[in-house]
Amino acid sequence: MKPYRVLLYYCYTTIENPGQFLEDHHLLCLRLNLLGRIIVAAEGLNGTVSGLAADCEEYMRVVKADPRFASLEFKVEENDTHAFQKLHVRIKDEIVNSDLPVDPTRRTGIHLEPAEFRKMKEEEDVVLIDMRSNYEHSVGKFKGAVTLDMENLRELPDHLHEIEHLKDKKVITYCTGGIKCEKASAYLLEKGFRNVYQLHGGIIKYGLEEGGEDFEGKCYVFDNRVVVDVNRVNPTVISACHRCAKPTDRMINCASPVCNNHVPLCEDCGWAHQGTCTDDCKNDPQLRAYDGTGYYARETQGYSPLLGYRSRKGSVNI
């Protein structure tokens, strides 16, 4: 068993004083030595954090003890180290950027547990729709799924015409952890789709509970790991190296900070081209040092986990 855990979670619930909640939650993460990204909004909580197993267990216990988060589910993965280099706890208007005029606490697609999804996806009148960004589904997606060339969920209305002909089908939406589908499925219902479902817990939960059958490639994640294995049943590779076109499921951020594109890059080309997607990027005078991972955190000079808290509150004792 690996010593660290990575927790992925979200919950739509009313937080009446997001500012105070943020302060308390930030202190909790500091006490437990957690790193990661957490978004707090009046509509709920969304986060991915990493830490030692015992610290993560305590974090889950404390969060679940709050009645507002009684329905929250944690997706728990093992890891060798922290999956993040910093801790960020922020307030935003939404816990996932969408700008979609819907309220998922009022109406959303029918939630399918992973076992239900595994059976239902085989039915003839079912269509799977990927609600993630283009670079995410370029490295991994469900077999036969409809994908949309969008950079974020805010663009879904611009692509609605591409799937309007599916209104009479059973539509199952899916994403990494389930959060995007709460609003995406609600939006499809508002636009006249009749039978809308969503994979509860997303790709990650499906992989953990059902072995990830028929998920082709790897799943893009927003931490140091970049991509993770999901399919333990019938894995395959669907992406090709951006440089040499050889099949690869390695994903990198271009080492040029001006570019920073997300592209598949095989290991040989990664080293040969210093982690860049084009020769122009390779000649960028600000080129970041490629270490084989293709992940680049923001500069950590002078950083400590207390920094974000102190920037808001001044000198404090924890």
- Asked whether the beta carbons of 12 and 43 are under 8 A apart, the reply is yes
Residue 175 annotated among the catalytic residues of the structure = yes
The CATH number of 110-217 is: 3.40.250.10
Q: What is the dihedral of CA 197, 200, 201, 202, to 10 degrees?
A: -20
Which pLDDT value is given to residue 306? 66
Buried b (16+ CB within 10 A) or exposed e, 216-226: bbbbbbebbbb
Where do the domains of the chain lie?
Answer: 4-95, 110-217, 239-295
pTM (2 d.p.): 0.91
- Asked whether the beta carbons of 153 and 184 are under 8 A apart, the reply is yes
- Asked whether the beta carbons of 35 and 49 are under 8 A apart, the reply is yes
Q: Which tokens sit at 118?
A: 């595994």
Report residues of the chain scoring pLDDT below 50. 301, 314-318
Catalytic residue among 29, 175, 254, 281: 175
- Asked whether the beta carbons of 270 and 253 are under 8 A apart, the reply is no
Number of alpha carbons in the 13 Å side-chain half-sphere of residue 252: 32
Measured CA to CA, the distance from residue 80 to residue 57 in angstroms comes to: 16
- For residue 41, give the H/E element and its range: strand 35-41
Domain 4-95 indexed as CATH 3.90.1150.10: no
List Cα–Cα distances, 10 to 75, 178, 265, in angstroms.
10, 8, 31
Which pLDDT value is given to residue 305? 66
- Asked whether the beta carbons of 38 and 23 are under 8 A apart, the reply is no
Which pLDDT value is given to residue 127? 98
List pLDDT tens digits, range 265-309. 999 999 999 999 999 999 999 999 999 999 887 655 455 666 655
Which pLDDT value is given to residue 313? 55
